Structures are given as C-alpha cells and as structure tokens.
C-alpha cells in the first residue's frame, strides 16, 4: 500500500477523525449564552448608576466571555483619592473560570469626577490572574465606568 491509497480501515478512521474534529469545533464555537452572574467587587466599589446593570459576566460560548454593568468607587461624587479611581485600581478579581489566558485591554466609557465632570474614554485591563483594573494616561479620574460590551476569548 502507498500513502496515496491507504487501507480501507485507515480511510474510515481518517473520515471519522475529521467528523469528530468538525463536531468539536462546533461545540467550542456554538453560542451557549449563559445567565448573567454578578461580579464580586473589591471593597470600596459599587454599582455605578441607579437603574443600571450590576457588574456581571456571562458566557457567549464555551470560550467567550462578555461583561456588562457599571462600577464606581465610593458612594458619592468626589475626586481622585476621595471617591475617584486611581490609576491601576483593581475593582474586582474575576473567578478562575472566566480569566483570560493573556492580559486583555479594553476601551470603556465613564464620567470624570469633580466640579467639571465630563464623559471620557478609559482603559480596563483584565489580567490572566483575574485582576479587573482601571488605567488611564490622563489626570482626571472617572467617578464611574461602564463594562458594557467587553468581550474576550478565554484562550
């Protein structure tokens, strides 16, 4: 027998293996949208807006996670060092089952604190250890940020 004409049993095994790979791929990528599960926030953080979503996650598929909800530091208005975020603050440590294999950088919206409050774009980092952190290159700290729309793969 040559490699171009494998024995019948080998051809059957190759077809079965190809079929199993297709099924496995379908299982890994088929949306399996799960229920929203609340994220436990670190001390000093709370849901940002009355009537808004509680910070939560859900599986979009076996390998994709989605976040939503708003987070604020403290319970009032205030500024940096009072109730505003400080660069690198860890808002939460995510459960092991939803931690990415590599660090994720996501763009989020939020509102700055203080007398001249305004909306802005900020960065959230999710580390492979599960730290959900706020980072920014600007001096104004947000009073709250929205996690809505952050999606990432687990692998």
Residue 102 has pLDDT above 70, yes or no: yes
pLDDT, position 31: 65
| The domain made up of 37-153 is a member of CATH 2.60.40.1830 | yes
pLDDT given at position 96? 96
Domain boundaries, the chain: 1-30, 37-153
CB 133 within 8 A of CB 88: yes
Does pLDDT of 145 surpass 70? Answer: yes
The structure tokens listed for 52 are 């808004």
Task: Give whole-number Cα distances, 132 to 93, 100, 102, in Å.
Answer: 6, 11, 13
pTM of the model: 0.73
Compare 74 and 73 and report the one with higher pLDDT.
Answer: 73
pLDDT digit string (tens) for 22-63?
878 777 666 678 899 999 999 888 887 667 899 999 999 888
Band (pLDDT 50/70/90 cuts) for residue 77 is: very low
Q: CA distances (Å), 49 to each of 39, 55, 73, 76, in order?
A: 16, 11, 12, 11
């Amino acid at each position: 027998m040559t490699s171009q004409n494998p024995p019948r049993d080998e051809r059957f095994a190759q077809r079965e293996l190809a079929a199993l790979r297709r099924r496995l791929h379908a299982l890994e990528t088929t949306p399996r949208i799960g229920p929203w599960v609340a994220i436990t926030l670190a001390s000093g953080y709370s849901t940002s807006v009355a009537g808004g979503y509680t910070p939560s996650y859900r599986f979009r598929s076996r390998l994709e996670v989605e976040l939503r909800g708003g987070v604020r530091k403290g319970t009032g208005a205030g500024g940096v060092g009072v109730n505003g975020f400080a660069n690198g603050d860890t808002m939460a440590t995510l459960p092991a089952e939803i931690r990415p294999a590599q660090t994720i950088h996501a763009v989020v919206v939020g509102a700055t604190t203080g007398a001249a409050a305004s909306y802005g774009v900020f960065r959230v980092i999710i580390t492979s250890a599960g730290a959900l952190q706020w980072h920014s290159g600007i001096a104004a700290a947000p009073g709250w940020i929205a996690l809505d729309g952050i999606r990432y793969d687990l692998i």
